[in-house]
């Protein structure tokens, strides 16, 4: 039997976990041979306008892949929850969001749905009136929110893989590793969806497997080192983003860029700035002052919005303004042949 949780988020101040507890008394869903197929559903009514696909977009890692699949009315996503694998289906229905989760982590996913959809992310104090461009972007996108997905190590692995290579290379490598070493997505997920390995799974990938998918030894070793302290990293979800960022940067191979990429997703960090990104500073400069700038100048431009810089960066991304393309593209590095 499917668990059905009928709630309206914080609009009625009904705690989702209490509703789920009542629903679980109904019984268990049948096992279809793909592990724990527990199924939990909810209906959530956000307190503010919500652009569902845009809020979930940071999970995409380059578009549709083993852990994320866009749909016309929402998306599918997979996570490695504390209780085990989970597949989450989220869809928009007018002012409501319908969500169903399958797998051992289903209850965890449903309990965290408001956070995932930015329920506690408050943009009301953000003043971008000094920039006509950002003011217009914000006006046209009232449904943008910062997602908080609560998975620190799971966000750290692809961020490490993305270091110092093109996005295309990194996403290809990450997808191959997830498909080879992850687990099939529970429930009726679309074909080709997988759940990323747990910390032990990442730790035991042979060195030649990393090499075969184009991940160099420095990045591979950084993932393995992080996997040894994955439990401690997960505990940072209860800490402020700046504390989590400091703890992440204490790991060899994890710098400011990587930590910001993680906390922006795991913690919904409103101030995360990926300093050192190849394109970011130039895009920010072009959007705000009409010309590319370097990292130091970008931080100066963002200083008036200290504490909310990630929100400003999301507006810059939504503006469609990108770093001007001049000169040849970056040469892709293929580590498989050396």
Per-position DSSP letters for 44-104, written without gaps between them:
E--SS---HHHHHGGG-SSSSBTTEEEETTEEEEEEEETTEEEEEEEEEETTEEEEEEEST
The pLDDT of residue 333? 55
Q: pLDDT: is 334 or 77 the higher one?
A: 77
pLDDT for the residue numbered 209: 97
Query: For 162-172, what is each residue's pLDDT tens digit?
Result: 999 999 999 99
pLDDT over threshold 60, residue 32: no
List the structure tokens of 314.
């999301």
What is the rounded average pLDDT for all residues in the chain? 88
**Strand partners for 331:** none
6 band by pLDDT with thresholds 50, 70 and 90: very low
For 48-77, the pLDDT digits (tens) are: 999 999 999 999 988 889 999 999 999 999
Average pLDDT over every residue of 129-156: 97
Percent pLDDT > 90 in the chain is 82
Q: What does the buried/exposed string (b/e) look like for 202-222 if buried means 16 or more CB atoms within 10 Å of the residue's CB?
A: beebeeeebbebbbbeebbeb
Distance CA 295, CA 77 (A): 33
Write phi, then psi, for 188 (nearest 5 degrees).
-85, 50
Q: Is residue 318's pLDDT more than 60?
A: yes
pLDDT, average across residues 121-127: 96
pTM of the model: 0.87
User: Does residue 83 register a pLDDT over 80?
Assistant: yes
pLDDT at 23: 37
pLDDT at 322: 81
pLDDT reported for residue 31:
40
Cα separation, 239 vs 247, whole angstroms: 10
Residue 24 has pLDDT above 60, yes or no: no
Tens-place pLDDT, residues 282-317: 999 999 999 999 999 999 999 999 999 999 999 999
> How sure is the predictor about 18, in pLDDT bands with cuts at 50, 70 and 90?
very low
How high is the pLDDT of residue 334?
55
Using the CB atoms, write b or e for 133-146: b if 16+ within 10 Å. bbeebbeeeeebbb
For the residues of 195-228, what is the DSSP string, one character each? EPP-HHHHHTS-HHHHHHTT--HHHHHHHHHHHT
For the segment 170-212, what is each residue's pLDDT rounded down to a tens digit?
999 999 999 999 999 999 999 999 999 999 999 999 999 999 9
Main-chain phi, psi angles of 70, to 5 degrees: -75, 145
E strands along the chain, which residues? 3-6, 39-44, 68-71, 74-81, 84-93, 96-102, 183-184, 194-195
pLDDT of 36 strictly over 60: no
Q: Are 196 and 80 in contact (CB under 8 A)?
A: yes
Q: How many Å apart are CA 298 and CA 76, to the nearest integer? A: 35
Whole-number Å distance between alpha carbons of 111 and 19: 10
Can you give the pLDDT at residue 221? 98
Structure confidence at residue 41 as a pLDDT band (50, 70, 90) = very high
Distance CA 131, CA 118 (A): 24
Position 326 scores a pLDDT of 60
Q: Which residues contact 166 (CB under 8 A, 6 or more apart)?
A: 330, 332
Whether 156 shows a pLDDT value over 90: the answer reads: yes
CB neighbours of 114 closer than 8 A, spacing ≥ 6? 9, 10, 16, 44, 46, 120
Q: What is the pLDDT of residue 13?
A: 33
Tell me what the mean pLDDT of segment 17-25 comes to. Answer: 34
Decide if 220 contacts 207 (C-beta within 8 A): yes
Whole-angstrom distance, CA of residue 235 vs CA of residue 249:
15
pLDDT in tens, 214-263: 999 999 999 999 999 999 999 999 999 999 999 999 999 999 999 999 99
Q: Where are the beta strands (DSSP E) in 84-181?
A: 84-93, 96-102
Q: Pick the residue with more confidence: 9 or 257? A: 257
- Give the pLDDT score at 324: 66
């Amino acid at each position: 039997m499917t668990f059905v949780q009928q709630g309206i988020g914080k609009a009625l101040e009904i705690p989702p976990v209490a509703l789920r507890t009542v629903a679980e008394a109904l019984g268990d869903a049948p096992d279809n041979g793909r592990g724990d197929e527990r199924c939990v559903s909810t209906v959530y009514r956000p307190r503010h306008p919500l652009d569902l696909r845009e809020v979930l977009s940071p999970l995409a890692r380059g578009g549709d892949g083993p852990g994320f699949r866009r749909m016309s009315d929402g998306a599918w996503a997979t996570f490695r929850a504390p209780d085990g694998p989970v597949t989450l289906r989220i869809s928009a229905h007018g002012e409501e969001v319908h969500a169903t989760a399958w797998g051992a982590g289903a209850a965890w996913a449903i309990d965290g749905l408001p956070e995932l959809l930015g329920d506690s992310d408050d943009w009301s104090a953000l003043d971008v009136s000094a920039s006509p461009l950002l003011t217009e972007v914000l006006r046209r996108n009232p449904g943008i929110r910062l997602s908080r997905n609560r998975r620190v190590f799971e966000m750290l692995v692809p961020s490490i893989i993305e270091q110092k290579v093109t996005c295309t290379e990194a996403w290809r490598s990450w997808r191959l590793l997830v498909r080879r070493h992850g687990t099939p997505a529970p429930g009726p997920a679309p074909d080709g969806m997988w759940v990323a390995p747990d910390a032990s799974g990442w730790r035991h990938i042979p060195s030649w497997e990393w090499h075969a998918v184009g991940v160099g030894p420095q990045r591979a070793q950084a993932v393995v080192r992080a996997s040894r302290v994955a439990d401690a990293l997960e505990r940072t979800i209860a800490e402020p983003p700046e504390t989590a960022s400091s703890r992440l940067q204490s790991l060899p191979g994890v710098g400011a860029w990587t930590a910001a990429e993680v906390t922006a997703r795991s913690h919904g960090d409103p101030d995360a700035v990926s300093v050192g990104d190849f394109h970011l500073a130039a895009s920010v400069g072009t959007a705000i002052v009409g010309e590319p700038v370097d990292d130091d100048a970008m931080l100066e431009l963002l200083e008036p919005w200290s504490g909310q810089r990630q929100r400003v960066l999301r507006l810059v991304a939504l503006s469609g303004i990108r770093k001007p393309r001049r000169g040849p593209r970056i040469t892709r590095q293929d580590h498989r042949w050396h």
